[in-house]
Amino acid sequence: MLNLPKIKDMENQDNIFQKLCPCGCFNSFKNQEVDFIKEYEHWFLILNHEQGFLGRSILILKNHKTDERELTNEEALEKHTLYCLWREAITKAFNPDKINQAQLGNEEHVHNGHLHWHFVPRYRRPIYFFGLEFQSDTPETQKLIFSSVRDKTIHSTELRIKIKEELLKYL
């Protein structure tokens, strides 16, 4: 197991944006109230503001790179380790039936191709949290690609804080 550096909770959001991406690739996220979960040596773990699929998260590389082959061995190993830690936390928190990982780069105009991964929990049953129902797969939606079925609802900051707190119990 990789011996990770000291992990810090993300609190001061103004400072976070400066640290997150000095190259400015994620400045557009400032207006989206992105919830920063943890900082690691090479990566930031962020709760996606779109929570159609409960627990949806983004892992953003600190250094500006645009292709996975550019990762150092340390960055690649930490990415895998963090995925495994996140996978364990999301399982304990919400028990998804499946996980989708995506590193598409389809919105380069937003982030200049800055390398990041989407971690998307999928549920084959109705899923509720904090009194709300979240996206779950039906036999019809299981055949569709993620972008066709996602709920683009931006949930309240209060709800996203509750989701973040639930994940942090296990990270």
How many helices and strands, by DSSP H and E, does the chain display? 5, 8
Span 47-92, pLDDT tens digits: 988 888 899 999 999 888 888 999 999 999 999 999 999 999 999 9
Task: Give me the pLDDT at residue 96, please.
Answer: 97
More confident residue, 33 or 9: 33
Domain 8-168 matching CATH 3.30.428.10: the answer reads: yes
Residues 6+ apart with CB under 8 A from 156: none
Q: Which residue intervals of the chain are DSSP H helices?
A: 13-20, 73-94, 108-111, 146-149, 157-168
Domain ranges of the chain: 8-168
pLDDT digits 0-9 by tens, 81-138: 999 999 999 999 999 999 999 887 766 655 656 788 999 999 999 999 999 988 888 7
pTM above 0.85, yes or no: no
